Chain A
């Protein structure tokens, strides 16, 4: 995803001198070509995220579209107040790009586990939140961010679902993509975990369970229409995120179901229970350990469809 992002950003920067890439001293070798081609549109702000975010705001208010790049929680949590007061409140064209969603850097430990970012960023006013699931979404969302006014949070992942688009497809900011059609359950995911969801889809199909798969690349604003349709048109709705189940994708979907009075027959949030993972490992290992890999998704779907529990039972993990 990172390479797709930087490749597209380079193409955009070529024709748009407003575009600027600011890194927090991360991305070894990744930006060499970009920096060589567009030296006046590239800046290493050093290991100083608070300054980087204020600086980006200042540059943006003077007419630039600033892509701020760092990894995991550094460009958001370290400087959360700068994101809120400086970028968001001033509606500055600051696009915060974080590589390392979820357990992308699983072996590096909790400092590098970005597992609460979506709920925290979603709570901020005047921000768009995007987490692409595949390479096409990454490329298209990068382009879209240039035209989306104001501050964006863009969560990139080490894993991805490849290219899932069809030829004539057009990317729509704020609109979920329906990748598979089925009536038994809807699997809604955000971010790079889409690859696990698509694997789960195939495994479920083998069992005779047909799922709708929605890739919700934009978490804020939320595509209410697609979500509400899923509740009324399929037997169950499951949200899948490599993120805490508190307040992220699952939270957003559940809140809106209730408030809109559209209650799915069965509903489950698949994600991480609140807590730190002091255990480290590869992204795949941690996904399996914490029950968000394809096999876990499959067993959750099977269990949910077989259960007679009312929708409103507490989410038992």
Chain B
């Protein structure tokens, strides 16, 4: 599967889904669309016909507000019909705004409240170590989410237990709910924080598919160390007027804005 095409499809689906449902977080989906696409096109071990397959890699979207992106990638990868995406955020649907596992093949973990995914991921990674299994666990965190102390509890735990089968990707788009990360709770020096917690850290351009694929192929970065990928991203990436705008954390593209966004993505 071509990861670039897949990322385009994720963005298009998410745009349509959030438009239809008048829901938020399109900027947050766009910033991690390339990460999702590379993971599902080239990195994760899974079988969409056997979503519960024991040996599959585990994936957790801890920034659950990006749920539309996960549903889109799962549908594109054959976990459920693409037509199901039309129900997202609609009355009676099980495709909730924040990612939920109930009734959705391919979703292992429901999130939505920030700071939950990494602790669960550490449990899954520890279980694999204890059972001597090769499966890996991947967790996508948002940057704003790193305000949550629970992540740092898990970060301590993962390095203490040498969980080098655990990988965190931080979608570092530098913008959170109300304003920039810098103005809210500055995370810098961010790399050093993870390193001082005992993680092996690599920084990449989170929209460059070659860099993404290469860095994932290098896991584990250092034997015995959990892996942290700080992916420098752009909120709203892919639609010029959404890029780097706080507004698109919550705003829904409608009318002319929707048409313009659609056009940009289709022509990309």
Contact = CB atoms under 8 A, between A and B. Distances in A.
A124 to B, nearest CB: 15
Which range holds the interface residue count of chain B? 20 to 34
A53 B119 contact: yes
Interface string A56-95: 1111111110000000000000000110011001100000
B156 A58 contact: no
Contacts of A56: 123
B110 A55 contact: no
Interface in A20-72: 40, 45-46, 48, 50-64
A58 B120 contact: yes
Given A48-B153, A51-B153, A89 B110 contact: yes
A63 B116 contact: no
B265 interface: no
A63 to B, nearest CB: 7
A51 B118 CA distance: 8
Contact of B124 (A62, A81, A85): A62
Contacts of B125: 58
B38 interface: no
B113 A55 contact: no
Contacts of B153: 46, 48, 50-51
Given A48-B153, A85-B113, A54 B118 contact: yes
B66 interface: no
Contacts of A60: 123
Given A48-B157, A54-B154, A85-B110, A62 B123 contact: yes
A147 to B, nearest CB: 21
A50 B115 CA distance: 9
B122 interface: yes
Contacts of B154: 51, 54-55
Contacts of B123: 54-62
Given A50-B149, A51-B150, A51-B157, A58 B124 contact: yes
A25 to B, nearest CB: 12
Interface string A150-194: 000000000000000000000000000000000000000000000
Contacts of A64: 127
Contacts of A63: 127
A58 B117 CA distance: 9
B47 interface: no
Nearest to B100: A89
Contacts of B121: 58
A86 B150 contact: no
A46 B156 contact: yes
Nearest to B151: A51
Nearest to A40: B130
A86 B157 contact: no
Most buried by A among B108, B123, B130, B131: B123
Given A54-B122, A55-B126, A55-B157, A90 B109 contact: yes
B119 A90 contact: no
Contacts of A61: 108-109, 120, 123-124
B101 interface: yes
Nearest to B150: A50
Given A48-B153, A48-B157, A63-B127, A57 B113 contact: no
Nearest to A60: B123
Contacts of B156: 46, 48, 51
Contacts of A89: 102, 110
A126 to B, nearest CB: 11
A48 B150 CA distance: 8
B224 interface: no
Interface centre among A40, A46, A59, A81 (most CB of B within 10 A): A59
A62 B127 contact: yes
Given A45-B157, A50-B149, A81-B113, A86 B130 contact: no
B116 A86 contact: yes
A64 B127 CA distance: 8
B246 interface: no
Contact of A57 (B112, B120, B149, B160): B120
B116 A90 contact: no
A80 to B, nearest CB: 11
Contact of A59 (B110, B113, B126, B149): B126
Interface of B: 101-102, 108-113, 115-116, 118-128, 130-131, 149-150, 153-154, 156-157, 160
Given A48-B156, A50-B149, A57-B123, 9 more contacts: A51-B150, A51-B157, A54-B118, A54-B123, A82-B119, A85-B113, A86-B120, A89-B102, A90-B110
22 contacts: A46-B157, A48-B153, A50-B119, A50-B149, A50-B153, A51-B122, A51-B153, A51-B154, A52-B119, A55-B119, A55-B154, A55-B157, A58-B121, A58-B122, A58-B127, A62-B131, A81-B113, A82-B119, A85-B113, A86-B119, A90-B109, A90-B110
A-B pairs with the 3 shortest C-beta distances?
A58-B123, A54-B119, A62-B127
